[in-house]
Structure formats: structure tokens, C-alpha cells
Amino acid sequence: MTTDRLTPTPPGEDPLSHIQWVATGRLDPNAWNPNRVHKAELRLLEKSLLVTGWIQPLLVNPDALIIDGFHRWRLAQDSKRVKERWGGRVPVAVLDLDRPQAMMQTIRINRAKGTHVAVSMSEIVRELIGEHGYDPQQIAAEIGATRDEVDLLAQDGVFAVKGIADWAYSPAWYPAENGKRVTT
């Protein structure tokens, strides 16, 4: 992780008023992003960037940890055309969030956008409870889940539980636990 901290958006101000252009190599991906983008959609995202330009900044914390925009960041590094057009730089809005707050922000954003992998969600919930001392009810409120969903995700080996298919949970969870292969 980078030691050169980014300047966060001043309290009470809109992050979009403080966009910074940052070299992609200065940013670090988070290890918890539950969202997956398939190759076809990644090509579509690349096309969108090249046709329309940057219409949405990446969200990062002051430690340059990516909260939202991993796939755009990845394209800015891997796509020759995207890299050349913006010189290996990406627009970022810096949110003054610590790791647990950043984790919950990632989940809120991804749940609002579409699907994510439930196994990754379980890892996040267990870290929030075990390492950061968050209460399951607080996690539920922060990520837009029910307490039952959080309790299920907090179980060690949650997807080895018999009858997992009988659990009702948000359709935003990608059904990777059903044995279908996830390809990105």
C-alpha cells in the first residue's frame, strides 16, 4: 500500500467538487470487492470510456485504497488505448473513510448497481465483526441487508451449511455458491 496519503474531501463538501487526477500505480485495489464483471461487460466499459470519457470518478480513501471503480482502474492500466488517452491517470474523489467504513461503502455501492458474490460478502462481514468489532445490526443497517442476511454471512463456512438453498437473501447476491463458475 502506498504511504503517500491523498487529501480527502473537506468535511461537508461534495466529493465531486474535489476531483484529483492520480496515476493508476499510486492506487491500491481493495481485497474485498464482491462485484464481478464479465469479459463482455469489461469490453463494453472500455468502449464507454473511450467514447464518452470519464463520467464517474473512482472513489478512494486517503490511503489510496479503491472503494469503487476497480474495473475502471484495471482498464486504465490494462487497456493500451485507455492508458494512452489519459496517460495512465484516473479521476478520483477521496473519501475520508477508514477500512471498515470503506468496506461498507463498497457494498452499498455494489448492491445499488447490481450483483456481487456472496462468498466475498461472507468474508467481509466476518472481518467487520471479528477484526473491527462491528455489531451485526449496525452492519445490516450500513449495507442495506437484513439482520438475518448478516447473521447468515457471519457464519464460518456459511456455504457448507446444509439447506443453503432454502435461505432467502437479496437477489443482488450473485449465486456463486450454487456451483456455477464465475468468469471475469
3-state class percentages of the chain: helix first, strand second, coil last, to nearest 5: 50, 10, 40
Which grid coordinates belong to 6?
A: 491523498
CB atoms within 10 A of CB 75: 23
pTM for the model: 0.68
- Enumerate residues 6+ apart whose C-beta is below 8 A from 179: none
Statement: residue 86 has pLDDT above 50: yes
- Enumerate residues 6+ apart whose C-beta is below 8 A from 66: 27, 28, 29, 30, 33, 58, 59, 60, 73
Domain contains 10 = no
Statement: residue 177 has pLDDT above 70: no
Q: Return the pLDDT at 180.
A: 41
Strand-pair partners of 173: 116
Domain contains 30 = yes
Mean pLDDT, residues 140-145: 82
Domain contains 87 = yes
Q: Return the pLDDT at 1.
A: 44
* Domain with 66 in it: 15-94
Cα–Cα nearest to 101, from 53, 60, 152: 60
Give the count of domains, the chain. 2
User: Is residue 107 domain-shared with residue 146, that is, in the same domain?
Assistant: yes
Distance of alpha carbon 44 from alpha carbon 33, whole angstroms = 20
